[in-house]
Amino acid sequence: KRLLKSEPNSPQFNADYAILLKDRGEATKSAEYLDDYLNSIKKDNQALHAAALHFISVNLYEFAEKAYLLGQKNDRNSFQYELAD
């Protein structure tokens, strides 16, 4: 949590915290946390792309897809190739 306070928009720290919550048996809280994080960066396509890439690297595919879909709402032409995979 200390690292999140110093870098609140870091996809690595946010994903790691969500994984920690999930490992503690708090899956619902983990999903809500990541949804809140994605909503906080939903207007920034670069942040969404960075988050999606990190989510993929830690097997959080559902949230990577959500990040790409939020980015596509900002710009219809964004993330077409990423979503096609």
Q: How confident is the model at residue 81 (pLDDT cuts 50, 70, 90)?
A: low
User: pTM above 0.85?
Assistant: no
Q: What is the CA radius of gyration of the chain?
A: 12
More confident residue, 84 or 62: 62
Spatial distance between the Cα atoms of 54 and 67, rounded to a whole number of angstroms? 11
Residue pLDDT, tens place only, 51-72 = 999 999 999 999 999 998 898 8
Structure tokens at 85: 């995979």
Spatial distance between the Cα atoms of 75 and 23, rounded to a whole number of angstroms? 35
Residue pLDDT, tens place only, 11-38 = 888 899 999 999 999 999 999 999 999 9
Q: Residue 22 to residues 15, 25, 34, 69, 82: CA-CA distances in angstroms?
A: 10, 5, 11, 23, 26
